Amino acid sequence: MWKFNKGDSSFELSPLFCLKIFKMKVEKALLKDASCLTELTIRSKSYWNYTKEQIESWREDLKISAQYISINNVYKLVLAKKIIGFYSFSSEGKESVKLDFFFVEPAFIGLGCGKKMLSDFIKRVKKLHYKAVVLDADPNAEEFYKKNGFEVIGQLESSIKNRFLPIMELKLY
């Protein structure tokens, strides 16, 4: 359930119902969104049943600071004035960008929010005339990216022993 406050009262709505009655929009993240985006990242990463110890060991890597927002392309997915997802990217030279962060609020995973954000992201980088997108995927998200045209081009050893992150690419042209 998703909690809302109105005046002195509060009420809860299911995420699916929220998607039916409110319009999602993608907008540039603000510096003041940093802690909210960090906590969303932690919740979203925790969705995949990593241990608390693993999440804590990654906390610094998952942190979104105001400085990070100021020097990178960070966009948030907003529904009813609440941030339910975000992504960020940075240039990898003239021809490609790296999708650095891509997270959805756990209650909204599997409801089309990731697809909406990915569509917005691809449209945005195409306008900037990039030819490819690269990313280091969480193994749990690999299928999502494959369904959306990405291909595995390598692997990166993770901090978990004998576990590798797929390095993925999407050619845009």
As a whole number of angstroms, the distance between CA 99 and CA 75 comes to 12
Chain centre to alpha carbon of residue 50: 17
Residue 5 has pLDDT above 80, yes or no: no
As a whole number of angstroms, the distance between CA 79 and CA 25 comes to 7
CB 100 within 8 A of CB 133: no
pLDDT, position 137: 95
Calculate the alpha carbon distances from 137 to 67, 103, 145 in Å. Answer: 24, 11, 8
The residue among 165 and 7 whose pLDDT is bigger is 165
Residue 131 has pLDDT above 70, yes or no: yes
pLDDT tens for each residue of 110-129 = 999 999 999 999 999 999 99
pLDDT, position 119: 96
**Strands 82-91, 73-79: pairing kind:** antiparallel
**pTM given for the model:** 0.90
pLDDT, position 163: 80
Residue 9 has pLDDT above 80, yes or no: no
Q: Which two tokens stand for residue 63?
A: 């942190």
Query: Which CATH fold topology does 11-171 show?
Result: Aminopeptidase (3.40.630)
| Cβ neighbours, 10 Å, residue 145 | 23
| Cβ neighbours, 10 Å, residue 170 | 20
Q: What is the 3-state secondary structure (H, E, C) of 134-166?
A: EEECCHHHHHHHHHCCCEEEEEEECCCCCCEEE
As a whole number of angstroms, the distance between CA 4 and CA 44 comes to 20
Q: Where are the domains of the chain?
A: 11-171
